[in-house]
Amino acid sequence: MNIKSFRAKSMHEALELVRQELGPDAALLHSREVPQRGLRGFFGGKEIELAAARDANLKSRFEIEEPLEEDDEEEPEAFEPPTLEQNIAPPEETPTASVPTLPFDQGIDLEAMSFNQTFFGNGPAYPPALLRIRERLVEAEVPGILADSLCERVLNAYPEESQQQEAALIDAVRQELMQSIPMGRDIDDTLLYPRVVAAIGPTGVGKTTTIAKLAARAKFDFKRRVGLVTVDTYRIAAVDQLQTYAEIMDLPMKIVATPMEVRNAINELSDCQQIFIDTAGRSPRDEVQVQQLRSLIKAASPDETYLVLSAPSSSRSLAEAVEKFTSVGPTSWVLTKIDEVGSLGNTLSFLQDPQLPLAYVTNGQDVPQAIAAADPEDLVSRIL
């Protein structure tokens, strides 16, 4: 592996030197601030030094530096999507029908099953007003069993004479939904806020933009000293976005690739009140990548770890991501790109998960405006 060193006055200029000599796919191995050459360095002048290579075997470098130990702490239990039937009294078994216990995304036609339960004696016969509400929920991509759970609770709570008042029933369903959505901690709390915040998740969900939005709020709204760290085997094309944000906001940024370098970067940013860590996107299906990410996050020891997921993703993709990234230890999650979908019904199962509360939503690319602490009332209005 042929490693080359590049020095320049700014990170942007150093990246451009790497790009010109090694191409857009060059691997960035690390960055550091060093004294300038000559008299300027003697008088305290600083510049950026980048180490990069065209053919770096980054995966091997990572695994050799901090291999996973066999006696490492126990893995968290496998993720179980929120129990869809927890509020539904299951019907008695019959020779022809039974209530499944599998999550809604494992190949069962829950819509057809729910229809059969309602209209063929295995479930409640909803009054017309409530049936129309159920149809609205299903059209909003709420899974059939969840829709039935909501409708049954409302049906049991309302006297028969009120069950034809559709407006009142809609309000009741909304209240049920709002009460079922746990909220994560708002890191903008001015009295108690986490010092180190990391974002993890699949590729393309908006982790880098989310980190930039949180960092901008911390600096400009709350006047905190903020640092950025971009973690793991980054290609030069991938680091440009966060570096651009760092330069615009005048924030220090460290580029690291291994658990040891993560710890060193956090130590070097010791004068920062908050440090935001952006990680490379990982495929939930790549166990090796997820374990590498787990090792990096363990080294960083963040106070908050956000699992970032995007609203346009399918229910199956969301379930797979939550299940696989659970081993990394997310404390809450961020739902991005809600402006790109007509409804959030496909996310309801995850919104109701008490083990992974929702902290933030994002609704566009504007930094830092297009992010807000999660609000149950707003979320429910996007479903019903």
Concatenating the DSSP letter of every residue in 201-224 gives -STTS-HHHHHHHHHHIIIIIT--
Total structural domains within the chain: 3
Looking at the structure, do residues 225 and 127 belong to the same domain, yes or no? no
Say if residue 341 is in the same domain as residue 282.
yes
Last residue of a domain, one of 56, 78, 99: 56
**Same-domain pairing of 175 and 201:** no
For residues 65-86, b (16+ Cβ closer than 10 Å) or e, as one string? ebeeeeeeeeeeeebebbebee
Q: Are 250 and 377 in a shared domain?
A: yes
Confidence at residue 234, expressed as pLDDT on a 0 to 100 scale: 55
Q: Is residue 366 part of a domain?
A: yes
Per-residue pLDDT of the chain (384 residues; tens, 9 = 90+): 577 777 887 777 777 787 788 777 677 666 777 777 665 655 567 777 777 777 655 443 444 334 444 444 444 444 444 443 444 344 444 444 443 333 434 333 444 444 444 443 444 567 788 888 888 888 888 888 888 888 888 877 766 655 567 788 888 888 888 888 888 876 665 555 678 999 999 888 889 999 999 999 999 988 899 999 998 555 666 677 888 888 899 999 998 888 888 999 999 999 999 999 998 877 767 777 788 888 889 999 999 999 999 999 888 888 888 888 988 999 999 999 999 988 888 888 888 888 889 999 998 878 878 898 888 899 988 888
pLDDT at 159: 63
Do 298 and 68 contact (CB within 8 A), yes or no?
no
Q: 205 and 311 in one domain?
A: yes
Q: What is the pLDDT of residue 61?
A: 43
Is 23 a member of any domain? yes
What span, in angstroms and rounded, lies between the C-alpha atoms of 276 and 273? Answer: 10
216/156 same-domain check: no
CATH code, domain carrying 307: 3.40.50.300
Backbone angles phi, psi at 173, to 5 degrees: -65, -40
Token pair of 362 as six digits:
């994002």
Task: Show which of 119, 153, 179 is a domain's final residue.
Answer: 179
At 149 the pLDDT is: 83
| pLDDT for position 237 | 62
Q: Could you give the CA distance from residue 38 to residue 137 in angstroms, rounded to a whole number?
A: 69
pLDDT at res. 74: 46
Q: Are residues 214 and 298 in the same domain?
A: yes
Contacts of 69 (CB under 8 A, 6+ apart): none
* Residue 42: inside a domain: yes
Please check whether residue 123 lies inside any domain of the structure.
yes
Of the residues 179, 205, 240, the one at which a domain ends: 179
Express the helix, strand and coil content of the chain in percent, nearest 5 each.
Answer: 40, 15, 40
Instruction: Give yes or no: residues 124 and 20 share one domain.
Output: no
Under 8 Å between Cβ of 339 and 190: no
* 288 and 217 together in one domain: yes
Are residues 145 and 219 both part of a single domain? Answer: no
Q: Which domain holds residue 14?
A: 3-56
Q: Is residue 371 domain-resident?
A: yes
On whether both 290 and 374 belong to a single domain, the answer is: yes
